[in-house]
Amino acid sequence: MAAPKALPRVHETRPPPRQAAPTAPPAATQDSQEPAKEPTSKSSGPAAQKPRATRPRPRLRPLKAAMKLTPAAVEQLRSMLDQPEPKLIKVGVRNRGCSGLAYHLEYVDKPGAFDELVEQDGVRVLIDSKALFSIIGTEMDWAEDKLNQRFVFKNPNIKEQCGCGESFMVPRSPLAQCPMAVCGKGKQDDGSAASGAKTRRKVTAPSANAAAGMRLQLSRIALSSRTDFEKRVWTALCHIPEGRVTTYGLLSKHLGSSPRAVGNALRRNPFAPEVPCHRVVATGMTLGGFKGRWPRDGEGITLDEKRSLLRREGIEFDDKGKVLSTPWTGWL
């Protein structure tokens, strides 16, 4: 039979006495405390590792080349780059042709600040930064037939192309850095202003020295896909010194051709005014034609441009508009 519980005393305000807990050995106390520390270390471990966790890096996809070269183009470029002095070939565009733009190749010693480098099968080709918008995505090929040998470009950016296949036009875009001077098949906002700005830009561009400038123009002519006769005519133009003029008759005599054929080649000169067709005048030392146009009564926009180019080189004229100089005959 269980003993009855003790009744509390009246007016007893003291707390009841506590029973002493049984004492445990020190080893047991330490063992009981060690498991309590393990959850703390486990819980603090992930918290300490959370700041170290970083996002996985995205996998970078390889960028597509700005221009693709066919095996035939690679072999031709490799043979052209096999020279005693290391050179690079730059592909660009120029404002010429009835559709506005035409491809242009030249040798350079080093790339420009923003030129794009295309390397394929050990061949390195530069793309002019100003022409990158017009050329990007193009396939460059080398074609040979019984008539000529030339580079062929398959350009997906072309909006309109000339029937001759030598010039093209791309859509206007604020990203385009090269002016698109359209001739014949398009419109310009201000044709006269654009033509004047274009002329001033070309005329005022100085060359480092005459010899280096001549070598550059000769390489441009050699790399072009024009006829052999046109290349001969344009090469002869590069030998006319600055500040001197020759005549259509003397130039045709030097080339063994007719003045009309020489005039047609000058009309198709895509490298003017760097390749100076403006230094060729008529036999009577009158200005003659320029850019395929002959003036009426000694006046005309193209004639004024030719006169301006000659005056900048120090050529003087009399009251009748004739050149005050003797014809240059350095080839003869």
Burial label for 167, CB within 10 Å (0-12, 13-18, 19+), is buried
Q: Which helix (H) or strand (E) holds 124?
A: strand 123-127
CB 118 within 8 A of CB 130: no
Within 8 A by CB and 6+ apart from 192, the residues are none
DSSP 277: G
The SS3 assignment for 199 reads: helix
Q: 277 catalytic, yes or no?
A: yes
Give the neighbor-by-neighbor strand order of the sheet with 67-69. 67-69, 138-144, 149-154
Question: Cα–Cα distance between 64 and 43 in angstroms, integer?
Answer: 49
Cα 43 to the center of its chain, rounded Å: 60
Q: Pick the catalytic residue from 98, 162, 178, 277.
A: 277
List the catalytic residues: 277
